[in-house]
């Protein structure tokens, strides 16, 4: 799966979770940039990403990823 | 909303909860004063609140929430809490789980030690409940405990006094006993819910380690759904009527095509047994006051034969209302609701046919329509959807079906007066009435010997007598055969009289009771008068001879327009009718 393909799907997940079709995430996107992305919604996001790609994000990864770019890297490595 | 109907996709709901909530609020389905729900958690509760809100909105219950700080359920209730007091909860929900049990047994414990640990855990909660009731006086809902994710003692964990499972089971039993004995207090049975969902996935520990969710996020919608069913029924939102299709819903096959003897019901095949189990399930619903009704596209008399089979669990009399016709099922359902004085939103419509389900879903707002697949899952779908979830079982519940059945009978009678002519018209009846005919001699003789109730003179005749009457020029004889859209009733009426001058003296008038109130007697009289006129007669005379069984026709001739001449000491009555100006009386039978 290319990073572009992953990004397309990750972007859909963000739009679903935050109910905002104007969202476009990039490598640099962090929780600061998206309204509603707090620690509680992070739980929904991690679950939704895991479901979308059929993976389980390990404990040590969930809170250590610094931005969407790292998230996409992890998905690219795993899938 | 379809996305929230069982069996839903929990992960989808969590992912899309914002959009779902927006749509629910836009639809305006939930109106009125919001219910105030305080969630006091022994673990994180945020997603529980979000999901519970969706399911309650979908049930038409708007709500506002109070959430305790993380794991502050005990402090929030035990100590003065102005914030909670001001919130003024309608419901306090205590969300605790196995993770909150702090006094679990250890191997060093004696039996007495374990017993006091059990007491300590129980007392802690009971104190909480008692205080919450006195301070807030609202509905209380308490989780029981799910079984432990990791057992202490493996296979013997449920039997050994130091086992975790044994401990949890005993604690759950004590919680249940409290719930049974205290009004306004309910258990949210997460022990059952986690078993259904699968304990391994329910208690998946990463959600605890990462976010302090004792219930894994994918399981939370299921827990919230169960909880919403309980809250819904506490506030009276449960459904009252299950409205059932027949073919391939209550039995396998199509009764109109296959015939009652070949539908699948009973114990002969796996499929037949499956439908029998479903009928058993419906019977248990009826036993606790859920009304069973039929909404089927069929000929009624054919369809009801399915319930006459001895191996049919349900009988026609188990249904408080039946709409068996070819009308749109949505119309039937709305009409049925108004006849039962209930709202269509109290109904659950159960039909194997996706097209019928869709029509009802679209046309009948608020009616729930479970998405059925194969018959072995019908009961499961109805049960787990929580439509008929009871908050309690009252005396009224146990009597309800009987009461509705009586009402249904009255209504039927009433309707028969209001619109009886239409009913008769709809039967499309055809009569065949004429002088005794050789092919019917035997049947006519049989009728004179069998008919007791609708028989004016109760004179018995042999077949030979009938043959002689038929050829007697001094008599007028008539047999009557009745056919309607459901079939041929055969010869059902016999009239015979002797000519005396200008008068016909009616010696015999009888009719089979199965065609009572169908206008057949009028059709017979019309023909009798016509035959008498053609013989130049001007008058009919008739007699009523009472027997032990024919009281129903004592005033028959009065009703037919005859004049009473007299009645003797034995109750024998004589009548006459001038036929010069006679006008035909039959309106519904084509002859």
Window A:57-76, CB contacts with B under 8 Å: 59, 62-63
Window A:21-50, CB contacts with B under 8 Å: 36, 39-40, 43-44, 47-48
**Of B234, B254, B271, which marks where a domain is finished?**
B234
Taking an 8 Å cut-off on Cβ atoms, the answer to whether B206 and A59 are in contact is yes
Question: Which string of b and e fits B257-273 if b means at least 16 CB within 10 Å?
Answer: eeebeebbbbeeeebbe
Count of CB atoms within 10 A of residue B181's CB?
A: 8
Judgement on whether residues B51 and B178 belong to the same structural domain of the protein? yes
B564: pLDDT strictly greater than 80: yes
Q: What is the predicted pLDDT for the residue at B190?
A: 98
Higher pLDDT, B198 or B236: B198
Q: Which of B102, B126, B117, B99 is nearest to B41 (CA)?
A: B99
Judgement on whether residues B215 and B356 belong to the same structural domain of the protein? no
Taking an 8 Å cut-off on Cβ atoms, the answer to whether A40 and B46 are in contact is yes
B418: pLDDT strictly greater than 70: no
Q: Which of B55, B62, B59, B157 is nearest to B104 (CA)?
A: B157
Cα–Cα distance, B576 to B557 (Å, whole number):
9
Q: What is the predicted pLDDT for the residue at B406?
A: 63
Does this complex have an ipTM over 0.90? yes
Cα–Cα distance, B538 to A61 (Å, whole number):
109
Alpha-helical regions (H) of B64-163? 73-78, 82-87, 111-136
**Of B234, B261, B283, which marks where a domain is finished?**
B234
Judgement on whether residues B455 and B411 belong to the same structural domain of the protein? no
Bond from prior residue into B141 cis (ω within 30 degrees of 0): no
Q: What is the predicted pLDDT for the residue at B486?
A: 65
Cα–Cα distance, B572 to B546 (Å, whole number):
6
Q: What is the predicted pLDDT for the residue at B552?
A: 87
Three-state DSSP at B576 gives strand
Judgement on whether residues B406 and B515 belong to the same structural domain of the protein? no
B405: pLDDT strictly greater than 90: no
Interface test with A, best of B13, B16, B18 (most A CBs within 10 A): B18
Minimal Cβ distance to A59: which of B47, B210, B213: B210
Residue in B with minimal Cα distance to A51: B11
Judgement on whether residues B194 and B86 belong to the same structural domain of the protein? yes
Q: What is the predicted pLDDT for the residue at B571?
A: 94
Judgement on whether residues B214 and B344 belong to the same structural domain of the protein? no
Write the CATH number for B308.
3.40.50.1000
For residue B548, give its domain range.
427-590
Interface test with B, best of A9, A19, A52, A65 (most B CBs within 10 A): A19
Domains and CATH numbers, chain A: 3-78 (1.10.1200.10)
Query: What average pLDDT does the segment B63-74 reach?
Result: 94
pLDDT above 70 covers a percentage of chain A that reads: 100
pLDDT in tens, B495-508: 999 999 999 999 99
Q: What is the mean pLDDT of chain B?
A: 92
Judgement on whether residues B66 and B150 belong to the same structural domain of the protein? yes
Judgement on whether residues B131 and B253 belong to the same structural domain of the protein? no
A9: pLDDT strictly greater than 70: yes
Residues of A in contact with B206 (CB under 8 A): 56, 59
Lowest mean pLDDT among B72-76, B346-350, B442-446: B442-446
Write the CATH number for B224.
3.40.50.1110
Residues of B with CB under 8 A from a CB of A: 11, 14-19, 22, 44, 46-47, 206-207, 209-211, 213, 217-218
**Of B234, B259, B279, which marks where a domain is finished?**
B234
Q: At what angle do helices B111-136 and B164-181 cross, to 10 degrees?
A: 30
Q: At what angle do helices A68-78 and A39-53 cross, to 10 degrees?
A: 30
Write the CATH number for B554.
3.40.630.30
Judgement on whether residues B253 and B326 belong to the same structural domain of the protein? yes
B423: pLDDT strictly greater than 90: no
**How remote is the C-alpha of B289 from its chain's centroid?**
9
Q: How many domains does chain B have?
A: 3
CA distance A50 to chain B (A): 10
Q: What is the predicted pLDDT for the residue at B417?
A: 56
Judgement on whether residues B278 and B161 belong to the same structural domain of the protein? no
Judgement on whether residues B216 and B247 belong to the same structural domain of the protein? no
Residues of A in contact with B213 (CB under 8 A): 43
Taking an 8 Å cut-off on Cβ atoms, the answer to whether A44 and B47 are in contact is yes
- What confidence category does residue B171 fall into, taking pLDDT thresholds of 50, 70 and 90? very high
Taking an 8 Å cut-off on Cβ atoms, the answer to whether A48 and B14 are in contact is yes
Judgement on whether residues B455 and B578 belong to the same structural domain of the protein? yes
């Amino acid at each position: 799966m290319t990073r572009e393909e992953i990004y397309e799907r990750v972007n859909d997940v963000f739009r679903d979770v935050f109910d905002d079709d104007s969202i476009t995430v990039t490598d640099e996107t962090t929780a600061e940039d998206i309204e509603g992305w707090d620690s509680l919604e992070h739980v929904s996001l991690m679950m939704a990403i895991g479901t979308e790609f059929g993976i389980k994000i390990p404990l040590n990864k969930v809170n250590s990823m610094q931005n969407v770019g790292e998230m996409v890297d992890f998905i690219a490595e795993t899938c | 909303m379809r996305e929230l109907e069982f069996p839903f996709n929990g992960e989808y709901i969590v992912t899309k909860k914002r959009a779902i909530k927006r749509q629910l609020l836009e639809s305006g389905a939930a109106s009125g004063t919001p219910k105030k729900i305080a969630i006091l958690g022994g673990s994180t509760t945020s997603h529980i609140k979000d999901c519970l809100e969706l399911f309650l909105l979908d049930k038409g219950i708007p709500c506002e929430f109070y959430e305790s700080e993380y794991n502050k359920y005990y402090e929030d209730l035990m100590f003065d809490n102005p914030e909670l007091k001001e919130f003024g909860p309608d419901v306090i929900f205590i969300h605790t789980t196995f993770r909150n049990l702090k006094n679990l047994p250890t191997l060093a414990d004696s039996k007495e030690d374990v017993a006091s640990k059990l007491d300590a855990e129980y007392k802690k909660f009971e104190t909480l409940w008692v205080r919450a009731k006195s301070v807030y006086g609202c509905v209380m809902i308490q989780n029981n405990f799910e079984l432990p994710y990791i057992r202490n003692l493996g296979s013997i964990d449920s039997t050994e006094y130091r086992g975790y499972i044994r401990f949890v089971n005993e604690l759950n039993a004590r919680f249940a006993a409290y719930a049974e004995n205290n009004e306004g207090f309910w258990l949210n049975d997460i022990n059952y819910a986690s078993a259904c969902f699968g304990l391994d996935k329910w208690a998946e520990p990463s959600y605890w380690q990462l976010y302090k969710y004792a219930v894994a996020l994918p399981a939370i919608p299921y827990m919230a759904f169960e909880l919403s069913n309980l809250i819904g029924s506490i506030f009276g939102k449960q459904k009252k009527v299950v409205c059932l299709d027949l073919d391939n819903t209550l039995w396998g096959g199509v009764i109109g095509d296959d015939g009652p003897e070949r539908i699948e019901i009973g114990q002969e095949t796996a499929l037949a047994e499956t439908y029998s189990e479903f009928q058993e399930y419906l019977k248990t619903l009826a036993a606790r006051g859920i009304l069973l009704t039929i909404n089927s596209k069929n000929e009624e008399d054919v369809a009801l034969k399915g319930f006459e089979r001895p191996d049919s669990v349900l009988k026609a009399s188990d249904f408080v209302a039946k709409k068996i016709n070819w009308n749109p099922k949505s119309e039937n359902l709305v009409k049925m609701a108004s006849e039962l004085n209930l709202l269509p939103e109290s109904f659950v419509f159960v039909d194997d046919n996706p097209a019928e389900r869709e029509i009802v879903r679209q046309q009948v707002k608020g009616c729930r329509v479970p998405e059925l697949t194969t018959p072995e899952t019908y009961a499961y779908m109805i049960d787990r959807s929580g439509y008929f979830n009871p908050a309690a079982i009252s005396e009224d519940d146990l009597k309800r079906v009987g009461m509705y059945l009586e009402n249904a009978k009255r209504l039927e009678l009433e309707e028969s007066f209001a619109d009886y002519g239409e009913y008769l018209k709809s039967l499309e009846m055809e009569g065949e009435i004429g002088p005794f005919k050789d092919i019917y001699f035997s049947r006519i003789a049989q009728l004179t010997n069998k008919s007791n109730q609708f028989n004016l003179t109760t004179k018995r005749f042999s077949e030979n007598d009938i043959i002689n009457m038929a050829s007697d020029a001094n008599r007028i004889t008539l047999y009557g055969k009745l056919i309607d859209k459901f079939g041929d009733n055969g010869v059902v009426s016999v009239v015979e009289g002797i000519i005396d001058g200008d008068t016909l003296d009616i010696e015999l008038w009888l009719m089979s009771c199965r065609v009572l109130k169908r206008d057949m007697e009028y059709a017979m009289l019309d023909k009798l008068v016509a035959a008498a006129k053609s013989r130049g007669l001007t008058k009919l005379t008739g007699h009523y001879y009472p027997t032990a069984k024919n009281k129903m026709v004592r005033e028959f001739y009065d009703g037919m327009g005859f004049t009473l001449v007299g009645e003797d000491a034995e109750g024998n009555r004589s009548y006459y009718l001038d036929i010069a100006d006679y006008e035909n009386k039959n309106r519904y039978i084509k002859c």
